[in-house]
Amino acid sequence: MTGTRPPLDETQPTDTEWSYETAAVQTGIPRGLGQTVGIPIHQAAAFQFTTLEEAQGEFQLNQGLSYARLQNPTVRALEERLTALEGGAATVALASGQAATLTAILGVCRAGDHVVSTASLFGGSAGLLNNILPLMGISATLVENTPQAIGAAMRPNTRLVWAETIGNPAGDVPDLSALAEIAHARGALLGIDNTWGGVGYLCRPLEHGADLVTHSLTKWAGGHGSVMGGSVTVGTGHDLTRNPIYTDGGKNSLLNVRGEAALAWRQRWFGAHQLGMTLAPHNAFLIAQGLETLALRLGRESETALALATWLGEQPRVGRVSYPGLPGSAHHDLARQYLRGGFGAVLTFEVPDPAAFLSRLRVIRIAPNLGDTRTLVVHPWTTTHGRLPEAARRAAGVTDRTIRMSVGLESPEDLRADLAAALG
Ligand SMILES: *Cc1c(COP(=O)(O)O)cnc(C)c1O
């Protein structure tokens, strides 16, 4: 940081020795006489300079505060917290998970480039890859979630391999280290949508070779079904030397000018500066507050989800139950390898008559969200995955009888009774 302007880092630096639970409540909070104990909300669109030189310096470097589309101290505090919890190098927080996915992809791909992704994806991510990115000349191949299928789909122009920590809603866990190896061998990066990994609580993909992780902060991070947000966190040690976006321009190439920080810089430049998908400070505050209890919530929700998945598996009227925590799950071994602290809050199960089942629920609510304190169900076939072609829905693990349930914080007994009554 140059110039006389104080940099943004007046907050307490993150101690890398901190455990997850400590970092979740301590990171990003200023320390000092009269400072707020929690993260304060800076409800401001612009920030002052006192001289021409200060303003000019900031416009050249874009490292401090000038205009809130670019940076805001509350958003910055959330970004520090997310970076700490994912074990990353830098984060840009954005207006939604969808904004984060788009930013992550545009950060490493341009017209003529290619993405290989697993097929069991959040519907909106599949929509971006199949419908929106092709408009910009970026193509995608969606394949089965195995290293073999992903390896076979790689092309010379593949810049990014994409997967979700736990596939939506099939519950499939990718072999992260194997995918990292496949991507890196071809000069591509590995990007993981870690929404279901609970901001590093269940899984830290960066520690298994991923180069960047994204989140829908709308889910377990916000955690109360009250706010939307997204983020891209970049790790260290990624190799951009085979990506022309970073190497074009010789001496003035992004890689030469920005070094290790080039990837994070471009994510912020695209998502926030240029596309304007900026997170509002009040939303950043709510999400940062949600992160303070994420470990408690997701730990408890995972326990309840495992108990309910086990119980549902014993019910004669229930068809296939899919949850990576079940020992019989095809994804259990990879889940045990890559997840800790639980297997997540989401399970799917098949019921004979979804409409009748949903209409009888009295505690559990029908809503297309995840990671709420309340237990929510949807019928993915007609809602979240309804726009995908039938074959793609089946590839994502969805049939016309599938119910997806995101387990909340209600008592497990009340939830089981509600499910039992709805099953009839
Ligand atoms: C919800 C979700 C998204 C999209 O996030 P929004 O905040 O709704 O834009 C992306 N990926 C996964 C896995 C999700 O569950």
- Provide the CATH number for the domain around residue 302: 3.90.1150.10
Q: Which of 267, 290, 313 is the last residue of a domain?
A: 290
| CA of residue 216 to ligand 1 center, whole Å | 4
**Residue of the nearest CA to atom 6 in ligand 1?**
97
Q: Do 200 and 308 belong together in one domain?
A: no
Question: Over the chain, what HEC string results?
Answer: CCCCCCCCCCECCCCCCCCHHHHHHHCCCECCCCCCCCCCCCCCCECCCCCHHHHHHHHHHCCCCCECCCCCHHHHHHHHHHHHHHCCCEEEEECCHHHHHHHHHHHHCCCCCEEEEECCCCHHHHHHHHHHHHHHCCEEEEECCCHHHHHHHCCCCEEEEEEECCCCCCCCCCCHHHHHHHHHHCCCEEEEECHHHCCCCCCCHHHHCCCEEEEECCCCCCCCCCCCCEEEEECCCCCCCCCHHHHCCHHHCHHHHHHHHHHHHHHHHHHHHHCCCECCHHHHHHHHHHHCCHHHHHHHHHHHHHHHHHHHHCCCCCCCEECCCCCCCCCHHHHHHHCCCCCCCEEEEECCCHHHHHHHCCCCEECCCCCCCCCEEECCCCCCCCCCCHHHHHHCCCCCCEEEEECCCCCHHHHHHHHHHHHC
Final residue in a domain of this structure, among 222, 257, 290: 290
The response to whether residue 385 sits with its C-beta less than 6 Å from ligand 1 reads no
365 domain-assigned:
yes
Query: 97 CB less than 6 Å from ligand 1?
Result: yes
Q: For residue 347, how far is its CA from the centre of ligand 1 (angstroms)?
A: 16
The answer to whether the CB of 215 is under 6 A from ligand 1 is: no
Q: Is residue 265 part of a domain?
A: yes
Q: What is the pLDDT of residue 4?
A: 33
Q: How far is the centre of ligand 1, averaged over its atoms, from the C-alpha of 163 (Å)?
A: 13
Specify whether 131 is located in the same domain as 269: yes
Ligand 1 pocket member 219 (CB < 6 A): yes
Residue 122 CA, ligand 1 centroid: distance in Å: 7
Among protein residues, the one with the nearest Cα to ligand 1's atom 4 is 97
Is the CB of residue 216 below 6 angstroms from any atom belonging to ligand 1? yes
CATH number at residue 153: 3.40.640.10
Strands laid side by side in the 321-322 sheet = 321-322, 346-350, 402-406, 376-378, 365-366
Tokens representing 134 are 């092709």
pLDDT of residue 8: 41
Mutate to test the pocket of ligand 1, among 94, 98, 372 (most ligand atoms within 8 A of CB): 98
**How far, in Å, is the centroid of ligand 1 from the Cα of 34?**
38
| 86 in the same domain as 156 | yes
Q: 305: CA distance to ligand 1 center in Å?
A: 20
- C-alpha 255 to ligand 1 mean position (Å): 30
The whole-number pLDDT of residue 1 equals 30
Give the pLDDT score at 348: 96
Mean pLDDT by 10 residues, the chain (424 residues): 36 67 93 92 96 92 88 96 97 98 98 96 92 97 96 98 93 96 98 97 98 98 98 96 95 94 95 97 98 98 98 97 96 96 96 98 97 97 88 86 98 98 96
- Classify residue 15: in a domain, yes or no: no
Is any ligand 1 atom within 6 A of the Cβ of residue 98?
A: yes
Q: Could you tell which of 101, 105, 218, 283 is best to mutate to test the pocket of ligand 1, judged by most ligand atoms within 8 Å of the CB? A: 218
Pocket test for ligand 1, best of 164, 213, 217, 219 (most atoms within 8 A of CB): 219
| Statement to judge: residues 276 and 310 lie in one domain | no
Ligand 1 mean position to 98 CA, how many Å? Answer: 6
Residue 14 lies in a domain: no
Q: Do 276 and 322 have their domain in common?
A: no
Domain end marker among 253, 269, 290: 290
Given this model, what pLDDT does residue 14 score?
53
Residue 66 near ligand 1, beta carbon < 6 Å: no
Q: Are residues 282 and 345 in the same domain?
A: no
pLDDT number for residue 6: 33
**Do residue 322 and residue 270 come from a single domain?**
no
| Ligand 1 atom index nearest CA of 230 | 7
Shared domain check, 349 and 204: no
Decide: 371 in ligand 1 pocket, CB within 6 A: no
Q: Is 370 in the pocket of ligand 1 (CB under 6 A)?
A: yes
pLDDT of 2 reads 31
Residues 169 and 67 in one domain: yes
Residues 265 and 150 both lie in one domain: yes
* 2 domain-assigned: no
Q: Look at residue 215 and tell me if it is in a domain.
A: yes
Q: How far is the CA of 225 from the centre of ligand 1 (A)?
A: 13
Beta strands 230-234 and 365-366, pairing class:
unpaired
Distance 365 CA to ligand 1 centre (A): 19
Give yes or no: residues 265 and 314 share one domain: no
In a domain, 395, yes or no: yes
Whether 168 maps to a domain, the answer reads: yes
Task: Measure 383 CA to ligand 1 centroid, in angstroms.
Answer: 14
pLDDT of residue 10: 46
Q: How many structural domains compose the chain?
A: 2
Residue 343: domain span: 296-423
200 and 307 belong to one structural domain: no
